[in-house]
Structure 1
Amino acid sequence: MPVADYETYCEMLDRARAGRFAYPAINVSSLTTANAVLKGLAEARCDGIIQVSTGGGAFASGTAVKEMALGAISIAEHLHRAAQRYPIYVALHTDHCQADKLEAFVLPLVVETERRRAAGQPNLFNSHMFDGSALPLAENLEIAARLLERFKASDLILEIEAGVVGGEEDGIRAEASARLYTTPEDTLEVARRLNGIGARYLLAATFGNVHGVYKPGAVKLRPEVLKECQEAVVARYGETARFHLVFHGGSGSELHEIHEALDYGVVKMNIDTDTQYAFTRPIAAHMFTHYDGVLKVDGEVGDKKAYDPRTYLALAEAGMAERVKRAVTELRGAGTTLFGSQEGR
C-alpha cells in the first residue's frame, strides 16, 4: 500500500532524522503534476511527500468551482489509486493553511478521514499544516494544541510554524517586518505546549527562509538557528523532545545550506517554485518550436499532434519528474525507500 499508513510515515520521518536526509515535499495542483512526483520519486527510489495547498486545491476543483477541499480530496483519491503502481511510499500532506481557512480546507479533510476510518478505510491524508505564524505565538499554539488533540484520535500528524517564512505563496505575503528567525525561546514554548499531548507533530522553524526563488546571495539563511533551537529543547526536555523539522522555501537554496539544515534535524523540505518552472519550461519550448503547429497561422489548420494537450503535458510531466529526482539527490535521499523492507510487519 504505497500511500503510507501512520506507522510507515512515522518510520520514514525517524529514519530521515537519524540518517540526516530529508524527503522532498512537492506541491501539486493536478493529476499531471501528481503523476510527475510519483515518477520522479520512483526513479530515484526514494519515498516522499506530496502536498496540496489551499490554492492548489481550489485550482484542482476547477475554475468554475474553486473549492479548495474538493480539489484536495480529488487529488488525494487519485493518488491512493495511482501510487499503488509505484515501488515507493508517499505521504499525503496539506501545505500552509492559515487560521481563517481551517474551516474551509483542513477541517473538511479531517472530517473526510474520520468518515473513512469509521468505514474501515485508510486516512485520506497523512498530515496537515496549520500555519499560525501570523498570530502571536500563544494564540498559534492554542489552536495547534486543539488540532493536535483531534488529530491524535485519527493518527494524523500536524505541522506547525513558529517564525515566519518570507516571500509569497498562494497570494499570502509575509510582512516586511516579519520575524524570519525562530528563537530557542519560541521552540521551548512549542515543546511545553504540545509535547504533553502525546501526538506526532512537525515543526517549521524559520531561519531566514523565503518562498520563491532568488539569485544567489539574495536570501540570508542561518541554518545554525535550527541547531540552537534543537539544543535548547533537548537541554530542557531531553533527547526524546528533539524536533522533526521542516524547511520551507527550499527552492533555489544553496546546497551547503540545505545539507547543514539536514544535519540539524530537517526531515522534510518543501519545493514548489523550482518544480513549477521545471513543469512549464518544456511546454514553453514546445510552443516556441512548434508555433506553426499549435497555432493556425495564416489560415492553415495547424498540427493536431502539436496542440493536443497530451503532447506537451507529457513533456511537462517528464521535466518535473527530473527536477524531483534532483531534489532527492540534493536531500541525500536516493535509494532510501522503505518499500519492500516491511514485508511481514
Structure 2
Amino acid sequence: MKLAVAALASVAVALVPGTTSRPTRTVLQQSAVADIELPASVKPGVVTGEALMDLLQYAKTKGFAIPAVNAVSSCGINACLEAAAKFKGPMIVQFSRGGGQFLAGKTIATGDMVDKASVAGCVAGALQVRQLAELYGVPVILHTDHCMRDWLPWFDGLLEANEDYYKAHGEPLFSSHMLDLSEDPLEENIATCVEYLERMSKIDLLLEMELGITGGEEDGVDNTDVDNSKLYTQPEEVYAVYEALSKVPNGKFTVAAAFGNVHGVYSPGNVRLEPQILHNTQAYISEKLGGEDKKPVYFVFHGGSGSSTEDIQYSIEAGVIKMNIDTDTQWSFWNGIREYEAKFHDYLQAQIGNPDGEDKPNKKYYDPRMPLRAAEECTVDRLGQAMEDLKCVNVL
C-alpha cells in the first residue's frame, strides 16, 4: 500500500483556485462513518508496517487525526499513553534530535557525541514506549521529528538501530521517521528521500518528508525570518513527490508540506491557515491519478498548537490524519508544576517546618514524583482537549 501524507501550508487567495466555502457534512455521511470499525490488524502496542497503514487509512476514512507529541522525558511519554487510554484514541509519540539529546543526558550530548547521544536517547525512549504501550491497551505510532540535511548522521544512526531491531524481531523499532529537506531545491529533496525510502522500505519503515517550510521556531529549527513564499506548497510539488516515492517497491511515505502553519503559539491574526489548499490539492492529484479515490493524499498538519478548532477540523475533512502538538503540551507540563507549587508553596520552602507546625516534615510535598505527577495530569487533560478537536476520542 502506498501512503502519501502531506501537510500543506497557507497561500495567498490568488493561489487558491475554487471556492473557499466549507460544506457541511450530511447526516448520511456521519452515519456511515460511525459504522466503520478499527481494523483487526491494529492492536495495542507499537504499530508498524501494514498495521500502521491500516490505522492511517482508518483515520482518514472515519474522519479523525492522531495527535503527535514530542516527548523529552519518561513523564511526557507516560502522559501520552495515559491520554490515549483515557480518551480511547491512538497516539503518536515522537522524539526530536534535541529531545533525544536530553533523554541521553546533556553532559554526554556535546561535541562529537551529539549524534550518537541523540540516537541513544531516542532509542531509549522508543524502548520505554514499547515496554508500556501494550499495558495501556492502545495502539501507538513511534516517530522522530524534523531531520535537516546537516543532521543526517542522526538519521543514519536511527536507521541502523531499526535494522538491528528488525533482524531480531521481524519489525522496525520505530514506526516512521521524518526527513525535513524543505530548504533544499525540490529535485534534491525528492532524490534524497527516494534514496532513504529505498533503504527504509526493506524493513517496513514509513518515511515522512517535508515540502515547504513550517514557520516559527521549535527545538533548534528556527524559521522565524523565512521568506513567506517558502511557506506555500503547490499541488504540482506534492504530485511530484507522490509520483517519485510511489515507484519505490514497498515504499510507505508521508509528506509534510506547509499551508500557513507555524511552530509555536501566536496572538490571533498573526497566523492565517488556508486548509482549502488541502482540498484543492486532493482534487488536483485525484484527477491526475484517475480512479474513484477523491482523497488519495494523507496529510500531516505541522504546527498544530494554537490553531482554531474550525481550521483543524476542516483540514481533517481534506484528509489530515496526523497533527503535531508541542508548544501547547510544553505549557501544560509546566502549568501542572506551576499550579502544584502555588497550591503547596508554604510546604515547599524547607525540609522541616510548614503552616502545620515548625517541626512538621515536608518530604511528601517535595518528593519529585508529586510535581511531576501534577505535570502529567495537566498534560493528559490538554491532550484530551486536542483529541476532542481532532475527533480522536472513542475511536478504538
TM-score normalized with structure 2 length: 0.81
Choose 64-73 or 150-159, whichever is displaced more: 64-73
Q: In structure 2, what is the equivalent of residue 71 of structure 1? A: 121
Q: In structure 1, what is the equivalent of residue 65 of structure 2? A: 22
TM-superposed CA distance for 1:211, in Å, is 0.3
* C-alpha contact (below 8 Å) 1:40/1:324 kept by paired residues: yes
Task: Give the match's secondary structure for 2:198.
Answer: helix
* C-alpha contact (below 8 Å) 2:48/2:174 kept by paired residues: no
- Please tell me the residue identity of whatever aligns with 1:21: F
For residue 208 of structure 1, the aligned residue among 243, 260, 263 is 260
Q: In structure 2, what is the equivalent of residue 252 of structure 1? A: 306
- Please tell me the residue identity of whatever aligns with 2:347: G
For residue 51 of structure 1, the aligned residue among 62, 71, 94 is 94
For residue 193 of structure 2, the aligned residue among 144, 152, 159 is 144
TM-score normalized with structure 1 length: 0.93
Task: Give the match's secondary structure for 1:167.
Answer: strand
Q: In structure 2, what is the equivalent of residue 84 of structure 1? A: 134
Pair 1:266 & 2:320 matched? yes
Pair 1:197 & 2:256 matched? no
Whole-angstrom distance in 2 between the partners of 1:320 and 1:153: 37
Structure 1 regions of 5+ residues with no counterpart? 338-345
1:258-305 Cα deviation digits (max 9, x unpaired): 011101111100001111111110101122232333233999897222
TM-superposed CA distance for 1:168, in Å, is 0.4
- Please tell me the residue identity of whatever aligns with 1:310: R
The percent of aligned pairs where both chains have the same amino acid is 38
Task: Give the match's secondary structure for 1:65.
Answer: coil
Whole-angstrom distance in 2 between the partners of 1:5 and 1:206: 26
TM-superposed CA distance for 1:254, in Å, is 0.5
For residue 366 of structure 2, the aligned residue among 298, 301, 307 is 307
* C-alpha contact (below 8 Å) 1:293/1:304 kept by paired residues: no
TM-superposed CA distance for 1:109, in Å, is 1.5
- Please tell me the residue identity of whatever aligns with 1:102: L
Greater relative contact order (Cα 8 A, min sep 6): structure 1 or 2? 2
TM-superposed CA distance for 1:176, in Å, is 2.7
CA 1:58–1:238: 2 relative to 1, 3 Å: farther
Whole-angstrom distance in 2 between the partners of 1:72 and 1:9: 20
| Greater C-alpha radius of gyration | 2
* C-alpha contact (below 8 Å) 2:332/2:382 kept by paired residues: yes
Whole-angstrom distance in 1 between the partners of 2:388 and 2:343: 31
Root-mean-square deviation (Å)? 1.8
* C-alpha contact (below 8 Å) 1:181/1:225 kept by paired residues: no
CA 1:5–1:187: 2 relative to 1, 3 Å: closer
The equivalences for 1:1-345 within 5 A come to: 1-66=44-109, 67-104=117-154, 106-174=155-223, 175-178=225-228, 179-198=230-249, 199-239=251-291, 242-296=296-350, 303-337=362-396
Whole-angstrom distance in 1 between the partners of 2:266 and 2:385: 18
Choose 129-138 or 3-12, whichever is displaced more: 3-12
Choose 284-293 or 149-158, whichever is displaced more: 284-293
Task: Give the match's secondary structure for 2:94.
Answer: strand
Whole-angstrom distance in 2 between the partners of 1:14 and 1:282: 35
Choose 52-61 or 113-122, whichever is displaced more: 113-122
TM-superposed CA distance for 1:170, in Å, is 0.7
TM-superposed CA distance for 1:59, in Å, is 0.6
